[in-house]
Structure 1
Amino acid sequence: MLILPVQEVVVLETPKTGSLALRAMLGPYTVPQSDKAPRHIGHDAFRRKFAPDLVMGLGRLPRTVAVVRAPLERMQSWYRYRRRPQLKGLPASTHGVSFDEFMLAYLEGTHPDMANVGRQDRFVGWDGGHARVDHLFDYAQLALLERFFSGLTGDILTLPEKNKTPKKVNADYALSPEVLARFEAENNEELAMYRAVAAAGHLMRPGVGAKLSSSAH
């Protein structure tokens, strides 16, 4: 979670969506509390645990921002990330595990260390039509996110490359039609959420004020 007090914005860091790069880009504008807060806290937990104190400090509830990613691509990223040499032999490792097996472990709730992946629709509070997060950005269109924060800060901002899985880590993403169909059926809300964000590039919650939305164009 990143707190930008001057801009009155909180960034909720969705796992596997470039959050370390976002931290590096926004570091000059955040407060020290950002380093002490849980990194990957979702919207509902943010509202319960942190929003009341921020309202007292800022005088109003800050707007929330998050990035979301194509769900299957995000699963591939988790699978490859957990194939890093330093994880070999550990419960979280995907060494010796096919992508099909990894996906089944995720769907069936087995091997919790290896297949521990949260759903993005729950992270952003998606209700089937809208998110509770004020501003959602597509990971595939991050130029819109850079433009948004450039407008808020008055500086030209670009995202650096951070926490990329080394290129030497190979992964085969072959997936059986049956497992893919099951993933799409059981994660239909997450997929619907991502399609809405991808279509907009920058999806704003209804009722969000013009103060922030105008800077994104």
Structure 2
Amino acid sequence: MTTTLVTGANRSLGLETARRLVAAGHTVYAGMRDLASGADAREAGAIPIQLDVTDPASVAAALAALPALDVLVNNAGILGTSFGVDDLDVDALVPVFDVNVAGIVRVTQAALPLLRGSVNPVIVNVASTVGWPRSLRDPDDVCFHVPGIPYAASKAAVIALTVQYAKGLPEFRVNASDPGYTATEFNGFSGPQTMLEGTDATVALALIDKDGPSGEFHDRNGAITY
């Protein structure tokens, strides 16, 4: 049985990822800050577990409660409150990086001892092409029109972080996924993709075996290249 932890799994893309991995036969622990919000995860067959990626004590307690771990999906993320240059300051930047980047490091570092006990350790970091320079520079790409600096910068950091972890953990499969422009609370449900489409890349990367890719960035159509 494959044991999986999905962070930020009480709603939206995290919840759908947990639901699909349960359906694929995984035992899924659905990390969330508030267990009172875990009814949907429980209904999906996942096991809610208290996990605040910004709190080292919460992270340590969550990982200590797991019997084993084969797959880690670092999904938790926030959009932030800065959406242009004029409203940008460090106070707007730091909380986004604390969740979206430092949160991945906190959880991943705490998870390494368990993952090293797996015969097929897998890490998936949910990123975005909003952090992909080619997309940000192309006026025909939807990401070009996203004004938020902290969120875009944090997702660029997630992609780089993924590559570096993959190089440092050659026995693991470590990849980043791009959900694409999906209808979620994040964007006021304005995205054209369904929740199923938005989790395709994450789920596919969570299900790879030992000869699968590592250090790559994938959307639902496959690897995103330069």
- Scaled by the length of structure 2, what TM-score is found? 0.38
Relative contact order (C-alpha < 8 Å, sep 6+): which is higher? 1
Q: Which has the larger radius of gyration?
A: 1
- Scaled by the length of structure 1, what TM-score is found? 0.39
Normalized per residue, which structure has more strand?
A: 2
